[in-house]
Amino acid sequence: AQSVTQPDIHITVSEGASLELRCNYSYGATPYLFWYVQSPGQGLQLLLKYFSGDTLVQGIKGFEAEFKRSQSSFNLRKPSVHWSDAAEYFCAVGARYGNKLVFGAGTILRVKS
C-alpha cells in the first residue's frame, strides 16, 4: 500500500537556524515525490518535486530536498529559516501520470524569533 510518513507533527526552530523536515514513503512503483506548503487559510503551494535525475532538487523560497531511494526518504531542508516560513508542510507521493497523490499528515513549523 502507498503511504507517506512525516514523523514530526510539530517542529520549532529559531529564525536563522537550519531546518530539516522528514518524509518517508512506501510506494510500489517509481515514486514521484512532492513537498507542499500550506499557510493558514491558504491552499497548498508546491515547493518542489522529484521525478527523476539529480536526487537533490531545488525548489522555491530557498528550499531543497534530497531523494534517497535506499532509505525511502525525501527530506526537506532549508539552510536559514525566516519567520515567514511558519506554516504546515506536506510530503506527497504518486505516479507521474497517475491519478492521485498520497499525502502525509503534515508537519507544523513554528519559527521563534
15/22 with CB nearer other proteins: 22
Are 112 and 15 in contact by the 8 Å Cβ rule? The answer is yes
| 70 vs 97, beta carbon nearer other proteins | 97
State the minimum distance, in angstroms, from the CB of residue 45 to other proteins: 8
- Using alpha carbons only, how large is the chain's radius of gyration in Å? 13
Rounded to a whole number of angstroms, the minimum distance from the CB of residue 19 to other proteins is 19
Q: Which residues make up the interface to other proteins (CB under 8 A)?
A: 4, 32, 34, 36, 41-46, 49, 90, 92, 94-106
Q: How would you class 5 by CB atoms within 10 Å of its CB: exposed for 0-12, middle for 13-18, buried for 19 or more? A: middle
Report the sign of the C-alpha dihedral through residues 79, 86, 34, 90, in that order: positive
CB of 11 vs other proteins, minimal distance in Å: 15
